Amino acid sequence: MDTLLNLQALPAGAAIGGPAVALGGITLFLIRKYVEDQKKKSSSFRPPPEVPGLPVIGNLLQLKEKKPHKTFTKWAEEYGPIYSIKTGSNTMVVLNTNDVAKEAMGTKYSSISTRKLSNALKILTCDKSIVAMSDYNEFYKTARGHLLTSTLGPNAQKRHRIHRDTMINNICEQFHAHVEMYPSEAVNFRKIFQSELFGLSLKQAIGEDVKSIYVEDLGTTLSRQEIFKILVIDPMEGAIDVDWRDFFPYLKWIPNKSFENKIQQMHFHRQAVMKALIEQQRKRIASGTEINCYLDYLLSEAKTLTEQQKLMLLWEAIIEASDTTLVTTEWAMYELCKDPQRQKRLLLEVQDVCGPDKLTEEKLCQLPYLAAIFHETLRKHSPVPIVPLRYVHEDAQLGGYNIPEGTEIAINIYGCNMDQRVWESPDEWKPERFLNAKDNTAELHKTMAFGSGKRACMGALQAMLISCVAIGRFVQEFEWRLKEGEESNVDTLGLTTHKLHPLFTIIKPRN
Ligand code: HEM
């Protein structure tokens, strides 16, 4: 108020001259701040309800099981779809309902676009040097453009079609070979699918699948399995590793050597392997052989990026292609194995549309039940249950609540997809719920499995093409049932909601 009165008292002549302009500027700034503060005080927006926790550590103990999406969903039943929790000294607002989640990812994105990375992720992403973990800045826009043009955009996906077809054929061949050799033994679905998916991700990223590689910085030759572990498995595990200093930033000066060494070693190994893979491909390019892949594209087009940035972007393309599509397809096959009637319904649809021909991508638009199975699997088993954290960098309002600057935002996709106000019997796997959808794209966003708004998943098209053709072809060529005792294996693990135990199924070729 004083500031306002002071301004009113200013003589008109004071507006003349430099110092006066400066003074006027400061005063105006103070007024604006005062008015904004008053607005906030008088606004009907309140802070979100708080989940009670303990002094100092807040709700950390209640989150010690590594499945926060489930705990968040449980809390939503008691405290409502938006609430705040304390993770040590940090405040986090958790969104568990579609409307508000979409608001945060869409209309309010400009206030909530900054990524909040854990100490582990800071090291593993070389401080936001990959598309998915970067803030909305020039690097993001440049890198996103490269990834879409060379790999994930619709035209690029057309050019990479051959890799997807080869992958699905290889998997089916391996299933047939398994049945011939061990007709009554269950097949390890994940082992075969994961290995082929990794092959596809390498072909798209660096131009070829590899059996082994000599890694100079490690002084040893690594097998394909070891490369997979270093590039995919270890960083996925590292990404959810907890450094207690994440929760108490004011204690970051205290060393946590065992944590740092572990993550730094993962980073070092990943760096060494990526360098070796890139070096090998540089020799290929030098010998005059070009391949349509991300690496060749980056080397010739991405003039403004550093070598380290290119390395990180290539690694990103490998890890992202190798995981979530497997998670979705494995869960879909698990559900279909358990449900002979729905399996039959899918088979009839595929037979009706494809006749004696093998299902191909061109046929997908005529297979609504297959699409419904894909969406329902994404809903019930959201592979990315919580959107990578962001924080509010200017005061914002969400869902009718005031969210102050500095608050972390967790969007609980799993919680949104289990919301009883949106989904009838959310615990049931019921693809039919997607059959009445008029518009496939709208449904894709309804589950929000791919996020929403400016930062929605860039690999959604690839995931859909691979997963849908795979599910359709597998059911077209085999009859599926679970191995004895497999039904109760529904536990999950990790950053993405992997089935804890790989899927083991009994398959019988159809004639
Ligand atoms: C079923 C499979 C998949 C699911 C459920 C999924 C889900 C997601 C989610 C929830 C996000 C975060 C959105 C946000 O931050 O708001 C995301 C981002 C992203 N995903 Fe996926 N994803 C899948 C497959 C893929 C694949 C196969 C690729 C690449 C090969 C990929 C590449 C990306 C990239 C690059 C981003 C960052 C987009 C950006 O920040 O602008 N995803 N994905």
pTM of the model: 0.89
For residue 134, give the ligand 1 atom closest to its CA.
40
Instruction: Report helix, strand and coil shares of the chain as percent, to nearest 5.
Output: 60, 10, 30
Cα(212) to ligand 1 centroid in Å equals: 28
Q: Are strands 390-391 and 114-115 parallel, antiparallel or unpaired?
A: antiparallel
What are the pLDDT digits (tens) for 459-508? 999 999 999 999 999 999 999 999 887 777 777 766 667 777 899 999 99
DSSP notation for 372-417 = HHHHHHHHHT-SS-BPPPEE-SS-EEETTEEE-TT-EEEEBHHHHH
Round to whole Å and give the CA distance between 237 and 494. 7
Cα(450) to ligand 1 centroid in Å equals: 6
pLDDT tens, position by position, for the chain (511 residues)? 333 223 223 333 333 333 343 444 555 555 555 555 555 554 567 999 999 999 999 999 998 777 899 999 999 999 999 999 999 999 999 999 999 999 999 888 888 888 889 999 999 999 999 999 999 999 999 999 999 999 999 999 999 999 999 999 999 999 999 999 999 999 999 999 999 999 999 999 999 999 999 999 999 999 999 999 999 999 998 988 888 888 888 888 888 899 999 999 999 999 999 999 999 999 999 999 999 999 999 999 999 999 999 999 999 999 999 999 999 999 999 999 999 999 999 999 999 999 999 999 999 999 999 999 999 999 999 999 999 999 898 999 999 999 999 999 999 999 999 998 889 999 999 999 999 765 555 555 578 899 988 899 999 999 999 999 999 999 999 999 998 877 777 777 666 677 778 999 999 999 7
Nearest CA to ligand 1 atom 19: 457
Ligand 1: list residues with CB < 6 Å: 105, 131-132, 144, 152, 320-321, 324-325, 328, 378, 383-384, 387-388, 449-451, 455-459, 462-463
What are the pLDDT digits (tens) for 110-138? 888 888 899 999 999 999 999 999 999 99
